[in-house]
Structure formats: C-alpha cells, structure tokens
Amino acid sequence: MAKVQIEGSDAVHECESGTRMYEAIEDGNLKVPLGCLHGHCGACVVEVVSGSLAEIKEGEKLALRAFDTEEDMRLACLAYLDGDVVVRTLKP
C-alpha cells in the first residue's frame, strides 16, 4: 500500500503501490491541478517533499526537461507511487 498527501493538507489517500499518482489524486479528491493527463501541458508538476515514487521513465524525463523543472519535480500524470509520498503543488 501507498499513501499520497499534499503538503499543507490533512487529507491523505491510501492506494496500491504502483498506482499512477493522478489516479490516487482523483480518487482521494486531493487538490492538485490536473490537465491533459499525458505529460504535454505541465499543469500537474509537483515537487516531491518526502517519500518515494517509482523510477522516472524516459517520457516523463523528456517532458520535465521541456518544462525546465528541478530535479525533485515530477508529473502527477506520469509518475507511479512506490510507497508513501508527500508532494507540493506548484500551481494554485
């Protein structure tokens, strides 16, 4: 099992490890902006505050480079949970 939490919120959603982060966000009614859900728009860029996500895949790496992000940033639409994680949203 894995838990996802948005920094500054008491809301936590528990789901299976290996779940795509955006699915956990939607299922748990967590407040994270979501856009195209394919890594093209950058609406769902989050910063990993603590915890772990599955190893980043090449498609996500390319998208993050295009958005000129920092090393600890991930796309919620393309990242998979690999345990408990706390993330910070970058957009309101």
**Domains of the chain, residue spans:** 2-89
CATH class, 2-89 region: alpha beta
Render pLDDT for 49-68 as a digit per residue (tens, 0 to 9).
999 899 999 999 999 999 99
Q: What pLDDT, on the 0 to 100 scale, is given for residue 92?
A: 64
E-state strands within the chain: 2-6, 12-15, 45-53, 73-75, 81-89
Contact call for residues 89 and 32 (beta carbons, < 8 A): yes
- The string of pLDDT tens digits covering residues 8-48 is 999 999 999 999 999 999 999 999 999 999 999 999 999 99
As a whole number, the mean pLDDT across the chain is 94
Q: Which pTM does this prediction carry?
A: 0.92
In sequence order, the β-bridge partners of residue 68 are none
Helices (H), the chain: 21-27, 58-66
Whether the Cβ atoms of residue 86 and residue 65 lie closer than 8 Å to each other: no
